[in-house]
Amino acid sequence: MLNLPTYDDVTAAAARLKGHAHQTPVLRSRTADERLGASLFFKCENFQRMGAFKFRGAFNALSKFSAAQKKAGVITFSSGNHAQAIALSARILGIPATILMPQDAPQAKIDATRGYGAEVILFDRFQSDREAMGRELAGQRGLTLIPPYDHPDVIAGAGTAAKELIDEVGSLDLLLVPLGGGGLLSGSALSARSLSPQCKVYGVEPEAGNDGQQSFRSGAIVHIETPRTIADGAQTQHLGQYTFALIRRDVDDVLTASDVQLVEAMRFFAERMKMLAEPTGCLGFAAACHAGLPLAGKRVGIIVSGGNVDLRRFGELLAS
């Protein structure tokens, strides 16, 4: 039996994060409200430390380490925001960090992770299974493995963003959340179910890799090949055990957005709201614009989950 995290774990995480994570702003846009005939509340985790909500889960998980775990250190596998979140949290808490990253990860991300003081071990992602490698190294070196999404403390930490949003603006009719492995969605659903029980909660994943939608609708975790999409934060191949159980229990449906729709949302954020969101961070707004949800007159929360996009890449995407 899985011991699923609860909303109490989210409130405990919020207390641990106080003074360490930013309380990110909730932005509004009259233009977006008028276009959709709704009241939209954008929770801007692109302004979180290291540029994405992942700091919340990583810091919460590392804060709970025992003295012995802290001394031995943490290990994780990630090419993206979770790597930087663990590296930064570990530095703040004085914990040695080892990060497994694919050889072909962008140099900027490898440098940023090393810049936070973590030891980066590169691997060939076509040859090796990163999860198995992580577990093996953890065993050999006595490190604690904190995976990117399927962990109760990571889920509870991620849920603090939706908690802050609803605490600030009041109850919502709908909440739209980017979906990769499901840590953000399941944590958000815990908060929404407790703070705004009537709120419908939707996950949004890239159209090219709708394993979450298939899993949600079929009732079993579906595995897929790494999807080809610009939403690199949501290129996961499957949901986790914890996240799947919570999503099945607390989420209303899983929707998808295409890469073209993500670029359109990125452009809107840049042009109209003067902010930089990464493609994965745009999933919620893209679904609000295109998924055909009945939004008229509704209060809609949208989690903008991150803003880490290389500027050259950003330019290329907007030009295309």
Ligand X SMILES: *Cc1c(COP(=O)(O)O)cnc(C)c1O
Active-site residue numbers?
Answer: 54, 79
- Other beta carbons within 10 angstroms of residue 167's beta carbon come to 13
Concatenated DSSP letters for 127-140? T--HHHHHHHHHHH
**Gap between the Cα atoms of 218 and 203, Å rounded:** 15
Please list every residue from 104 through 133 that binds ligand X, using CB under 6 A.
Answer: none
Binding ligand X by CB under 6 A: which of 182, 206, 209, 301?
182
Q: Using CA atoms, how far apart are residues 281 and 252, in angstroms rounded to an integer? A: 20
Of 22 and 70, which CB lies nearer to ligand X in the complex structure?
Answer: 22
Site for ligand X in 29-48 (CB under 6 A): none
Q: Is 232 helix (H, G, I), strand (E, B) or coil?
A: helix
CB 95, min distance to ligand X, A: 21
Residue indicated by tokens 């198995």: 132
Q: Is 210 in the site for ligand X (CB under 6 A)?
A: no
Among 233, 259, 275, 282, binds ligand X (CB under 6 A): 233
Check residue 305 for interaction with ligand X (CB under 6 A).
yes
Beta-carbon contacts of residue 55 (< 8 Å; ≥ 6 apart): 21, 48, 49, 85, 88, 89
Instruction: Name the residue among 236, 220, 227, 259 with its Cα closest to residue 182.
Output: 236
Place of tokens 């809107």: 268
Binding to ligand X by CB under 6 A, coded x per residue (else -) over 54-83, reads x-------------------------xx--
Stretch that binds ligand X, among 14-22, 34-42, 105-113, 175-183 (CB under 6 A): 175-183
Of the candidates 5, 134, 159, 281, which one interacts with ligand X according to CB under 6 A? 281
Binding site for ligand X (CB under 6 A): 52, 54, 80-81, 148-149, 158, 178-185, 233-234, 236, 278, 280-281, 305-306
